[in-house]
Amino acid sequence: MAARKANPPVIEVQARPGQPLGMPVERFLRTYWHKHPLLIRNAFADFASPLQPGDLAGLACEEGVLARLISHDRASDDWSVRTGPFQETDFPGLPDHDWTLLVQDVDKWDADVRALLEQFRFLPRWRIDDIMISFAATGGSVGAHVDHYDVFLLQGQGHRRWQIDARASQGRRPTPQAFRDDVDLKLLREFKPTHDWVLGPGDMLYLPPLVPHHGVAQDPCLTFSIGTRAPSSAELIGDYLDTLIADADESVRYHDEDLKVPADPYEIDVTAMNRVVEALNALRMNDPDRLGDWFGRFMTTYRASGDVVPAPEPIPRAAVEQALDEGVLLYRHPWSRLAWRRAKRGATLFCSGLEFALSAKDAARLAAAEEIDGALYGQLSARGREVVLELLAQGHYQRAHDDTREDIDDEPAPALSVSAAHGDADDDASDDADTMDADDAVDDDADVEAVADDADSPEERVAAAEAADDEADTDDEADPSDTGDDGIPSRA
């Protein structure tokens, strides 16, 4: 007798006190992470956006900021994409509908936005890519699309209608994924939603990779997209091979001192292939430490380096230690990525592609240190303190006083407000126009599960699912030459 197919887990839950995911994080990781979508109502209770639409528009005007403006002409079903930096005069002339402004890496520019990442400590920090924020005018969207990474879509202001196709995650035959070739965005040619929700401030939708989704702003809105980094096998292989090639010993070559007269001079025989394997093995491709060190460098090297620059001149140890004793804090540069791993001896700390041999205690302390004060510095070994000086010299930490840090919302911003515009923000610039517009009703034959705000109790659904489960941050960047009285580069 065939085993009965397990039912998919519930797809909507209500956050609980102490459980913003609506369940213990262990259950979320076991049941949903990388497997099933999940809507969490009120995940961020009483959420107040740390950023306003005008601040986002102002950031989109800055050099070095990755920003896009996506517009949709419903009559012709044409999509247009403009890339930043923009001018402040670009925004007042926009219509009050059908456009979206997306800005990536906002967590690198604003400390309050970066603080949201503390709510995702159940994930490895090196897996988190960035927080992208989008402002959308009413009807704004980036079309129906898929992403190749896990993403959390947090509604910050206003309301967004999200439709998803969860067939594949539910064990049903998925809709074929083909893409339109008539637009500059990677939009799905066909999109048939199975679920349809409207999210308000504090609601959050989690989507594993390759779940088709389409978001449309119901009114002017802000959406925060917390995306993860998921390098492709091609990226991994390509980068690791580059490392192997750079380190390869040119004197190690194919050799055949045991060559015998071949039966067929044109045949590449088994003996020849064994020699090839021997030559490749000399590269130590499967050496755990070599592989681990490469991966640490790879995952901490960001796709955009920001403006991390070395200190203009050497910084004396005595000056650093005196400053720390006097209460000066060293803040990590927002573009610097740190991680660590255990090695055969001690550990290795990775910082933006660099590596440092340390004790496991020192490596763990520094990897977690968004700021370094005198107390933390005093806990480090002599080698750990040397690494702090090296990171400081490279620009990965910078001096800052307690009351001198600023965010992008301290600067004058272009006029752009949730009450004046209308918008939508999807987590990636890739969506489909074959989906319904914001005012359209969902077809009965679209196999859609419409979830109303007053639907069956999410608590009851979570309890039932748990029973079944038991059975089975913008900081303004200072000029690198701007140093404090102690000679330590300052961020503010």
* Whole-number pLDDT of residue 473: 41
Give the CA distances from residue 123 to residues 7, 137, 163, 361, 404, in Å, rounded to whole numbers and listed in that order.
26, 32, 26, 20, 31
In whole numbers, what is the pLDDT of the chain averaged over residues?
Answer: 84
pLDDT at 351 over 50: yes
Last residue of a domain, one of 400, 418, 436: 400
pLDDT band at 414 (very low <50, low <70, confident <90, very high): low
Q: Examine residue 156 and state whether it is found in any structural domain, yes or no.
A: yes
Q: Examine residue 483 and state whether it is found in any structural domain, yes or no.
A: no
Q: Examine residue 161 and state whether it is found in any structural domain, yes or no.
A: yes
Structural domain count of the chain: 3
Q: Examine residue 310 and state whether it is found in any structural domain, yes or no.
A: no
- Which helix (H) or strand (E) segment holds residue 326: the answer is none
Residue 386 belongs to what domain range? 317-400
* Whole-number pLDDT of residue 415: 55
* Whole-number pLDDT of residue 402: 40
pLDDT at 285 over 90: no
pLDDT at 459 over 50: no
- Mean pLDDT throughout 37-58? 97
Rounded distance between C-alpha atoms, residue 356 and residue 33, angstroms: 32
Maximum separation of any 2 CA atoms in the chain, in Å: 84
The secondary structure of 381-441 as a DSSP string is -HHHHHHHHHHHHHTSEEEE-TT----GGGS---S--TTT------SSS---TTSPPTTPP
Which residues have CB under 8 Å from 37's CB, separation 6+?
11, 164, 166, 169, 195, 205, 206, 207, 208, 211
pLDDT at 401 over 80: no
* Whole-number pLDDT of residue 191: 95
Q: Where residue 20 sits, what CATH number does that domain have?
A: 2.60.120.650
* Whole-number pLDDT of residue 203: 98
Same domain as 291, residue 182: no
pLDDT band at 16 (very low <50, low <70, confident <90, very high): very high
Give the end-to-end CA distance of the chain in Å, rounded to a whole number.
70
Same domain as 22, residue 142: yes
376 compared with 408, residue with greater pLDDT: 376
- Mean pLDDT throughout 41-46? 97
- DSSP-derived 3-state class of residue 89: helix
* Whole-number pLDDT of residue 169: 86
* Whole-number pLDDT of residue 433: 36
Same domain as 245, residue 137: no
Q: What percent of the chain has pLDDT above 90?
A: 66
For residue range 255-279, list pLDDT tens digits in order: 899 999 999 999 999 999 999 988 8
Same domain as 198, residue 57: yes
Q: For the purposes of burial, counting CB atoms within 10 Å of the CB of 77, is it exposed (0-12), middle (13-18) or buried (19 or more)?
A: middle
Q: Where residue 361 sits, what CATH number does that domain have?
A: 3.40.366.30
pLDDT at 312 over 80: yes
- Mean pLDDT throughout 307-323? 89
Q: Examine residue 489 and state whether it is found in any structural domain, yes or no.
A: no
Q: Examine residue 130 and state whether it is found in any structural domain, yes or no.
A: yes
pLDDT at 464 over 70: no
For residue 54, give both structure tokens.
């005008």
- Mean pLDDT throughout 34-56? 97
pLDDT band at 463 (very low <50, low <70, confident <90, very high): low
Last residue of a domain, one of 340, 372, 400: 400
* Whole-number pLDDT of residue 454: 42
Same domain as 245, residue 210: no
Q: Examine residue 142 and state whether it is found in any structural domain, yes or no.
A: yes
pLDDT at 476 over 60: no
Same domain as 363, residue 248: no
Same domain as 428, residue 392: no
* Whole-number pLDDT of residue 8: 84
Same domain as 157, residue 103: yes
Last residue of a domain, one of 376, 400, 424: 400
Same domain as 176, residue 146: yes
Number of residues in the chain: 492
Same domain as 24, residue 113: yes
**Residue 128 neighbours by CB distance under 10 Å:** 18
* Whole-number pLDDT of residue 443: 43
Half-sphere exposure (CA, 13 Å, Cβ side) for 64? 12
* Whole-number pLDDT of residue 305: 57
Same domain as 238, residue 218: no
pLDDT band at 176 (very low <50, low <70, confident <90, very high): confident
pLDDT band at 482 (very low <50, low <70, confident <90, very high): very low
Q: Examine residue 481 and state whether it is found in any structural domain, yes or no.
A: no
Among the residue ranges 94-103, 231-240, 332-341, 443-452, the one predicted with the least confidence is: 443-452
289 compared with 21, residue with greater pLDDT: 21
pLDDT band at 488 (very low <50, low <70, confident <90, very high): low
Rounded distance between C-alpha atoms, residue 442 and residue 448, angstroms: 7
pLDDT at 87 over 80: yes
pLDDT band at 102 (very low <50, low <70, confident <90, very high): very high
Are 257 and 176 spatial neighbours (Cβ–Cβ below 8 Å)? Answer: no
Among the residue ranges 119-123, 288-292, 357-361, 479-483, the one predicted with the least confidence is: 479-483
- Mean pLDDT throughout 124-152? 97
Give the CA distances from residue 486 to residues 13, 316, 318, 326, in Å, rounded to whole numbers and listed in that order.
53, 9, 10, 11
Same domain as 238, residue 374: no
pLDDT at 396 over 60: yes
For residues 311, 315, 320 and 326, what is the CA-based torsion angle, rounded to 10 degrees? -80
pTM over 0.95: no
- Mean pLDDT throughout 272-291? 85
